[in-house]
Amino acid sequence: MENSDKPTLPFQSKAEWPFYWITRVSARYTFEMDRLLKQQGLDVSRWRVLSSLREHGNLSVSEIAEFCILKLNTTTKIVQRMAAEGLVKTRVSPSDARVTEVSLTEAGAEAGLKAAKTASRVFERTFTDISEDDLRRVNQVLEEIFERLA
């Protein structure tokens, strides 16, 4: 007898489902980075903001939200906490009073550099035996997946 109530899955097992592995990798990376960054008084959200500012310079809160894949209200709260901690400074944009611009303070630049060194150690440990070509291909495939989900 056929059970028509059984859901149809795209794969026979979860290990064949790419989103299973994407989610597991992301969760494990976040857990490990949170564990290491906690020793520096940071967390992954703050690390992502610091990293974005280190790479791009001054950014609006909305640009930070976009780069960090965070909701705007969440990003606003993170930036406010980071400003209170002296990691970033904010100002109203001279060209648009509705926009808040964010930049690193000296303490934020130092914290970002220290966090980047931590991230580099995690990267080296994780990708030590993976060729540059394979890493480029992984990044390319993940970017394609990301764009298709938009």
In a domain, 70, yes or no: yes
In a domain, 137, yes or no: no
In a domain, 50, yes or no: yes
Q: Does the pLDDT value for residue 15 go beyond 60? A: yes
Q: Does the pLDDT value for residue 7 go beyond 70? A: no
In a domain, 57, yes or no: yes
Mean pLDDT score, 42-64: 97
Q: What is the pTM of this model?
A: 0.84
25-44 core/surface letters (b: 16 or more CB in 10 A; e: else): eeeeeeeebeebbeeeebeb
Q: Does the pLDDT value for residue 2 go beyond 60? A: no
In a domain, 141, yes or no: no
In a domain, 26, yes or no: no
> Residue 115: which domain range?
45-124
Helices (H) and strands (E) in the chain, counts: 6, 3
Q: Please count the structural domains in the chain.
A: 1
In a domain, 129, yes or no: no
Cα(72)–Cα(75) distance, rounded to whole angstroms? 5
CATH number of the CATH domain containing 97? 1.10.10.10
